[in-house]
Structure 1
């Protein structure tokens, strides 16, 4: 992404390598969620250039984002990630049916193994998603996106409201996808998560990327960059 912007974001310069876990941190309202939505196409960039594998692409809708191999796990899994009254199996096929309907029959045969790999606890694939725990609901959301074999996975607060065991499963999945060459952008309000998972960390403030930090950075360094404290200290001197 070069010089990307819209009503919420400005001057976004971002590069994601295959197999990289890019963490995004910042205070609430800094533009973290808006960045993922712009990349995915739900609130698209209105200026700037997006390139995938060296080729310029236009991502103006979520459907275009999916067609280009992007997946977005939103922070509101019940409101935007799932059809709660539908079965686990139907939820896992939502993205495929919506964007790649011709693949549905083939992918349907793969769903049981995808769900098994995520260790979802349920009475069966026909169980309504509303009856699952929060952690298992989140795993169904992840299964929905794994079914499209994404090139890039955008994760917005993926461990919010789930138990420790489900969190560990999410971490394992993120690392497994990265090992397979999938690019990951991971947004979390939990700094230990970002610091523990990310290969690089982007810090956002006021709809811009305030800076970048390497792995091994401290929580204090992230907060300092997010609040502009470091810049203020330098100015005062």
Structure 2
């Protein structure tokens, strides 16, 4: 082999190798950087922590909304209707008071006429009729007092049932609003019982006052009738009485 042929062979080999390298696919070279990897891990951890915090915040908000919904839930039980009905019944009994009613002007006028400023110069028949009217007022007042007392006693059972239901509803209340409403209704129930007690005491006091006034008027009228008996036109003249005939 001559020198020229050898050179040509080498050049051909180099050209083929160059062509092969030019047509071969390029491959990337991966370089590992520990510092960059650690920073990426820390960034991912921080992002995950932020996501967890947001999730916990949403959960807290949901719980708060649920609690607010419970606190705003109205109490399904109401005893105001029965209580108002009982109060109306007691008021009706008071309005049915006989003769002298619970009216300041009427009492002032009729009391002055029949009890305070009695005309003792009227006829005997009028005096008797006035005394009978005063006695009727006293009897009617005691009857009215008994009716009011009976109504108050009848309301006790209804109040007991309402209180029992309210206590049960309060103990099972799901929120602050239900507990507050149950407490308010309990106070209203106590007010209704106090109203019954007030009405009962008023009716008893009315009866006692009329009875005392009736007795005072009867004493004044009795003295006048005794005076008339003693100082009448004929008067009382003692005389001898014969027990046996001869």
TM category (shorter chain) comes to: under 0.3
TM-score, length of structure 1 as denominator length: 0.18
Quick check: which has more Rg, 1 or 2? 2
TM-score, length of structure 2 as denominator length: 0.18
Higher helix fraction: Structure 1 or Structure 2?
A: 2
